[in-house]
Chain A
Amino acid sequence: MSTLLIHFISDFLRDQASAPNQFGETLRCAVMENEITATQNYGLSQVQINILIKRDRAKILERLSEEIGAFGDEVDGTAPNLALLYPAGGVHIRKCKLLFSNGNNRTVEIRGVGFEAASPVEFAPQGGGPVIQGAITRRSCDADLWQRLYVTATLPAASYGVTVKKAGGAQDNAVLDVP
């Protein structure tokens, strides 16, 4: 799952500190308490964290420019796309978690945007092995317009790379640990 530095900064800056419990307040408090832990928990990479904590304006701008220039939600530039330019219909996974287990039969909840009713969902064991196809049992849209996919798959205990695809080639990835 990718996290852009710009997401972090926009979340950090949002709202006035004088308004308690507003969006961003929790993040700011966490950063004030321990910036390394808070930025790690947010999902920033070590490279992004190193750039941030050095407080080097030029380096921060350069990094932001790189991320935007790659035109993608992907920090590593693995799947450059036009989502920034024209919010046409990218896929973005925000969260992925194991919901239920019945033996190796798992139900996984994926939250994000750009999911299709028939989006292929794949689980790739990170230690190697064949890719396992998931079956979407339900797709819904919450009041905040983030979507949910409920996916069932037979997944032995392992760590998986989860990929949600969309017609036209858009896709996003996340990591799922199945204990």
Chain B
Amino acid sequence: MTVGANPCWDVVIVGSGPAGSAAAIQLCERDRSLAARTLLLDRAQFPRHKLCGGGVVQRADELLGFLGVRVNVPSLPIHAVKFEHPGGTTIRRGLDLFRIVRREEFDDALVQAARARGVQTREGEAVTALRREADCVSIRTTAGQYRARVVVGADGAKSLVRRALVGAAAGQRFIALEVLTPEDPSTSVEFTEHTAVFDFRAVADGLRGYAWDFPSFKAGAALMNRGIGGVTWPRDRSLKHTLTGRLSERGVSFPNDDLEGAAVPLYNPNTSQSAERVVLAGDAVGVDPMMGEGISVAIGTGMIAAHAVVDGFKSGDLSFADYGRRIASSSIGWSLRRNWMAAGLFYRRLRDGDGSSFPESGFQ
């Protein structure tokens, strides 16, 4: 970093969610000297609330293991998954299929891991404008102005970095609605049997998506994360209509104000993910096109972004022209591309009542 009134950082990471933190940590792993020259910025103060089911799949923990990070926050391990679908119900069992965390705790732990490695962080500072200049990117925030040789855009589904420097995301969005309801953990089967519910029954009515019940704890209190997410749905049955109908089936009511919503882009291999001096990561890249899973994608694309940045510094080429290919040919991109192509067929089969998509054994 150049010392002065308007210092130039090597890397400014916009967004301190899992993608931004993973990028920061991976940068330090590749080149320790980058820690002092990397700035992690977020508009929120951590820990901050985040709308999310909180499902941390094994792939996410595997990637964190390679980063040398163990995110030891309260979590509820899932040992059974119940699929409700137009063809019936299927239950799969297995030890630690995935774990459910509260995102405010999980994300905060990752920011702390980045900070522990020497990365400087600024919280409560929103980026308001970005401009590419000849030898850097200038970043204006609510608290000041920065310059960076490279910007990592990990600023979520509505990424300002994407809009300002890369171009709009093409393709579809996964719309999610979610509500937290109090539960009695001693009687709720989801808590006693560590079960997550994926409900695809509304696919028969035209929803391309699913509803879920994820058990979780927040500050010791048992809460059920109940939500619905989809890409498309029938005009006469909104997501909210389907969710409230499903919850009233279960005897659950909630104040309207408690319902929260978010829209995240689905990964599309044909969408630009980079530009001169800019790479994107996390929800700014897109989530899994089949299920909307985003945490492992965020960590993975954060790591890929960091590798691309270090390689760019080494070669002197900061065009990042091959960054989309990097993502697509990675192990994360391999499954994203597969699911991008498979999603349509999968939901068509389900809509036709074919439950064979849910064999009872072999959960991986």
Contacts and interface: CB of A to CB of B under 8 A. Distances in A.
Partners in one complex: yes
Interface stretch (A29-37, A41-49, A166-174): A166-174
B326 interface: yes
A125 interface: no
Contact of A84 (B96, B300, B339): B339
Give the interface size class of chain B. 35 or more
Contact of A89 (B62, B81, B359): B62
A83 B346 CA distance: 13
B359 A71 contact: yes
Contact of B57 (A6, A88, A141, A144): A88
Interface string B49-66: 000000101110011001
Nearest to B292: A86
A85 B335 CA distance: 10
Given A83-B364, A86-B291, A88-B363, A71 B358 contact: yes
B233 interface: no
Contacts of B290: 84-86
B155 interface: no
Contacts of B338: 4, 6-7, 10, 84
A145 interface: yes
A23 B331 contact: no
Interface in A64-123: 64-65, 68-72, 79-92, 112-114
Contacts of B311: 143
A149 to B, nearest CB: 13
A5 to B, nearest CB: 10
Interface of A: 4, 6-7, 9-11, 14-15, 22-23, 61, 64-65, 68-72, 79-92, 112-114, 140-141, 143-147, 166-170
Given A83-B335, A87-B293, A167-B96, 6 more contacts: A68-B342, A88-B58, A88-B59, A88-B97, A113-B59, A114-B364
